[in-house]
A and B are shown apart, each in its own frame.
Chain A
Amino acid sequence: MAAQSLREKFIQDFLTDRRWHFITDGLKTTLIVTVLALLIGIMIGIVVGIIRCAHDQQKGDLRGAGGIILRVLNLVCRAYVTVIRGTPALVQLLIMYFVILVSSRSKVFVAVLTFGINSGAYVAEVFRGGIMSIDKGQMEAGRSVGLTYVQTMTNIILPQAFKACLPALVNEFIALLKETSICGYIGLNELTRGGDIIRGTTFDAMLPLFAVALIYLAMVMIITYFMGILERRLRRSDIR
């Protein structure tokens, strides 16, 4: 084993039997899971984040049936965030696979759903932070020129809030991408497991692991690059 040169190892790890396939197929699965989970996560996050904010900001005048419903919704959303943030994603994944979605044959589906729900809790807090960070005066100004609460929210508060929470959102996106590496536990062949399969077949740990690490790094750098462009674009209106 010691006699094997790096070149031979490379050939054995990636070229023999088209083993690079495990890496590329894994990468595809990782990307599918991450992107779909992020979409679900953002959807849940927006809804939960807004409910939480609507409740907290209107605390004073929560009267009547509307107030009660909002209170109940707020409680549900708080419970959701607490439970999801309070348990490891791996445990959630195993529960989803072995207990809740027992009949599901698609591991990708289980993974997308788990990470979507998981990510939703974090995104909700990110959005809440973004909305809360907008000065109270913005809402007061909107209402005093005759806009309704909803109009003020969608036209004035949310656009500013989105810009404010973008860095944190990118952070969540990156964390999600890397977190999907635990899917190997339910036997989903994503990127990390692709490298693992090669490691299991060739008994070489270094090259497959480095290859996997490099691909994650490259993906994160690409995401960061595009988010940088988006952020600069959004900041244009800041210059007055």
Chain B
Amino acid sequence: MKKKIALALAGLMMLGLVGCAAAPAAAPAAAPAAAEETEEAAEEAEEAAEAVEEAVEEVAEEAAAEDAEGFTTVQEGYLTMGTNAYFPPYEFYEGDSIVGIDAEIAAAIAEKLGLELKIEDMEFDSIITAVTTGKVDMGLAGMTVTEDRKKNVNFSESYATGVQVVIVPEDSDIASIDDLEGKMIGVQLGTTGDIYCSGDYGEENVEQFNKGNDAVMALMTGKVDCVVIDNEPAKSYVAANEGLKILDTEYVVEEYAAAISKENEPLLAAIDAALAELKADGTLDAIVAKYIPAEAE
């Protein structure tokens, strides 16, 4: 039934597209040439609507039924999570699927809520927009709670602590964060590393990349002098690339939390409750321990 509605909607949109078409068809005497052509076009539009049927299958499940616990999700029966899967060990691609601490925590939360988890990979700076516009239910991407972000979304209880660190080449003259003044700093767009560095060292000294990996690649090729990013992914980056090291001094310590739409308070409560349970029964620690070896803590 929903599919049919979706299809009809798609058909309508197509017809709307050839909006110029509808009018002359109603007044054929006016512009005979246009009228005949447009009628054909309208028919073609309907055919095309069928052609995109596959693409539309997932369209607009807005009318997701109220759950027993009183919260709604973007897609009924699913907990949709927005993330940026280039942030090991929190989220990264392993084969075709996205895995990592955040992915497993989300799966555990979804299980508690009786939902199936769906992960959407997107640019980091799009995640909050996706949450507020209802594209995803929650953003879980090693995201730090900040005042600006709080204005747009609700944050769950924190589930992990993040530390912003500085990655430099092994032969770099940067020995501590005090040496960052005047250097080119690479960050991931919209991350807290970006926010702090742009504030502390001036935007002209900060190069923003879409992914943390891109920033590290720029560091490898000498386009930037250092990269400020979260501790755990930093370790993965340094392990994967020779000739890099992490400075001992921590830049900023911060809290990770899940971002949930302000219009979905019941979901926030449900996720918080699930997180508390996971914390209490040790699941949370087990997941973190699985990805972050104890000695590295």
Residues A106 and B59 in contact, CB atoms below 8 Å apart: yes
Cα A117 to Cα B58 in complex, Å, equals: 21
| A225 contacts partner chain B, Cβ-Cβ < 8 Å | no
In this complex, the member of A19, A103, A189 whose beta carbon has the largest number of chain B beta carbons within 10 angstroms is: A103
Contacts of A19 in B (CB 8 A): 95
Cα A120 to Cα B216 in complex, Å, equals: 40
In this complex, the member of A40, A153, A154, A185 whose beta carbon has the largest number of chain B beta carbons within 10 angstroms is: A40
Known contacts A36-B48, A185-B123, A201-B92; is-contact A76 B32 (Cβ 8 Å):
no
Residues B24 and A69 in contact, CB atoms below 8 Å apart: yes
- What is the CB-to-nearest-CB distance from B72 to chain A, in angstroms, rounded to a whole number? 13
Residues B61 and A73 in contact, CB atoms below 8 Å apart: no
The listed residue (A21, A54, A116, A153) touching B96 by CB distance below 8 A is A21
In this complex, what residue of A is CB-closest to B56? A109
Q: Is the interface of A mostly helix, strand, loop or mixed?
A: helix
How many chain B residues sit at the interface, stated as a range, is 35 or more
The listed residue (B20, B213, B214) touching A51 by CB distance below 8 A is B20
Cα A36 to Cα B243 in complex, Å, equals: 47
Residues A200 and B55 in contact, CB atoms below 8 Å apart: no
| A238 contacts partner chain B, Cβ-Cβ < 8 Å | no
Stretch at the interface among B37-45, B169-177, B274-282, B288-296: B37-45
Contacts of A113 in B (CB 8 A): 13, 17
Residues A205 and B122 in contact, CB atoms below 8 Å apart: no
| A212 contacts partner chain B, Cβ-Cβ < 8 Å | no
Residues A103 and B34 in contact, CB atoms below 8 Å apart: no
Cα A108 to Cα B280 in complex, Å, equals: 41
Find residues 157-192 in chain A having any chain B CB closer than 8 Å to their own CB. Answer: 185-187, 189
Cα A197 to Cα B19 in complex, Å, equals: 39
Residues B33 and A54 in contact, CB atoms below 8 Å apart: yes
| B1 contacts partner chain A, Cβ-Cβ < 8 Å | no
| B68 contacts partner chain A, Cβ-Cβ < 8 Å | no
- What is the CB-to-nearest-CB distance from A47 to chain B, in angstroms, rounded to a whole number? 5
| B120 contacts partner chain A, Cβ-Cβ < 8 Å | yes
Contacts of B109 in A (CB 8 A): none
Stretch at the interface among B126-134, B139-147, B265-273: B126-134
- What is the CB-to-nearest-CB distance from B239 to chain A, in angstroms, rounded to a whole number? 11
Residues B30 and A40 in contact, CB atoms below 8 Å apart: no
Contacts of B242 in A (CB 8 A): 1-2
Residues B75 and A73 in contact, CB atoms below 8 Å apart: no
Contacts of A65 in B (CB 8 A): 27, 29-30
| A23 contacts partner chain B, Cβ-Cβ < 8 Å | no
Chain A residues within 8 Å of B, Cβ to Cβ: 1-2, 17-19, 21-22, 32, 36, 39-40, 43-44, 46-48, 50-51, 54, 65-67, 69-70, 72-73, 76-77, 80, 98-99, 102-106, 108-109, 112-113, 116-117, 120, 148-150, 153-154, 185-187, 189, 197, 199-201, 203, 205
- 6 closest A-B pairs by beta carbon, nearest first, are A66-B30, A187-B122, A17-B95, A108-B55, A69-B30, A103-B60
7 of the cross-chain contacts (CB-CB < 8 Å) are A17-B96, A39-B48, A44-B17, A80-B20, A106-B55, A106-B59, A200-B85
Given contacts A46-B41, A47-B20, A103-B62, 12 further A-B contacts (CB under 8 A): A39-B48, A40-B14, A46-B37, A54-B33, A73-B23, A105-B60, A105-B61, A105-B75, A106-B55, A106-B58, A109-B56, A201-B92
